[in-house]
Structure 1
Amino acid sequence: MATETRIRDTADLSKAAIAACHHPERLQRDVYNEPSPQSEPTSTAAPLPVDPTLGDQLDFQKAHVHREHYLAKMAEMEFCKAQGSLVEVSVVQKGAFQVARMLNESLLGMSPHLAPQLAAMSYSWEIERHLTAALRQRLGEAA
């Protein structure tokens, strides 16, 4: 009797009993949790690759494997974010922009300070040496 019930519950892979059986394991892997609020949301459904030989008839197993593959990649991505080895592109771009703007302002601010000093110099090697020293100083401050 119990065997027949078990066979009836597991006869079809798409049954709710099978999904419920695997639900605790998926919770342990943190697949159902939302990504952290600091990160942009990632779509859980990756598009299926188009295979012209199969047409629209992808079987359940291939779709299931495809979905699990991308869910595992999502879990791996969240792990890397938690470790700090993966950061968002927008954060890096914002930081790079701020550093570039600071360096730009620093270098453009040199001309009012250097103009009177360079006007008093008459030899080109002296001007070159003074400019090089000023640039090294500003770039050293920026680093």
Structure 2
Amino acid sequence: MTFLSRTAYAKSKGWSRQYVGKLAQNGRLIETADGLVDVDATEQFLGITSDPSRRPASTLAQPSSISRATEPVNPAESPSTVVGYQQSKARLALAQARLAETTLLETNKSLVEVAVVDAAAFAAGRMLRDLILSLPTQLAPELSGMSDPWEIEKYLVASLRRVLDDAASMTAADFDNAIHS
């Protein structure tokens, strides 16, 4: 196991000191308690978490020369607990695809907002309630003059059917208007 200061580690890799500091800020540099860089563990960790598209082609074709038996000094930053680059990229692509699909459905008016549907349903229920509750005042004068039970039933059914049909047609029109506005 080799331990170097950040500056010495940067020189050994041919990197700037600022880049090594950035690696430390991003949690990709494995350091001991006294601030020295564990070179072997850091190399292994960087190999797991690095972007494969930025690696040189020669290193992609060769098997890794880093021993897998080396344990990192800090177990909280263990490579096994870190999500790999490919998994993160796949999750990002899936989230972007879902967002694009949702946007497409909203654009095509196949997807609506819940609040709009709730408001339209509430308005339709309120309108239906008002129409049905207004029936007694409309029917009372007519029914008071009827004595035949069959005529009363027929008149009540026809009036109720008319009110419900009117409510259905108005509700459908209002609902379409609310959704497509």
TM-score where L is the length of structure 1: 0.58
Structure 2: distance between partners of 1:130 and 1:99: 25
Q: Identity rate of aligned residues, in percent?
A: 35
Q: 1:13 aligns with which of 51, 65, 68?
A: 51
Structure 1: tracts of 5 or more residues without a match = 1-10, 18-54
Q: 2:123 aligns with which of 98, 104, 108?
A: 98
Structure 2: tracts of 5 or more residues without a match = 1-46, 55-79, 170-181
Change (3 A) 1:62 1:124: same
Using the TM superposition, give the Cα deviation of residue 14 of structure 1 relative to its aligned residue in structure 2, in angstroms: 8.1
Structure possessing the higher radius of gyration over alpha carbons: 2
Structure 2: distance between partners of 1:136 and 1:121: 19
The one-letter amino acid paired with 2:146 is M
Structure 2 partner of 1:21: none
CA RMSD of aligned residues (A): 2.4
Deviations 1:28-49 (A, max 9, x none): xxxxxxxxxxxxxxxxxxxxxx
Structure 2 partner of 1:64: 89
The one-letter amino acid paired with 1:127 is I
- Secondary structure at the counterpart of residue 58 of structure 1: coil
Structure 2: distance between partners of 1:85 and 1:13: 38
Structure 2 partner of 1:115: 140
Structure 2 partner of 1:132: 157
- Secondary structure at the counterpart of residue 121 of structure 1: coil
Change (3 A) 1:61 1:133: same
Using the TM superposition, give the Cα deviation of residue 56 of structure 1 relative to its aligned residue in structure 2, in angstroms: 4.2
Structure 1 partner of 2:65: none
Structure 1 partner of 2:103: 78
The one-letter amino acid paired with 1:65 is A
How many residues are aligned here? 95
Structure 1: distance between partners of 2:81 and 2:141: 76
TM-score where L is the length of structure 2: 0.47
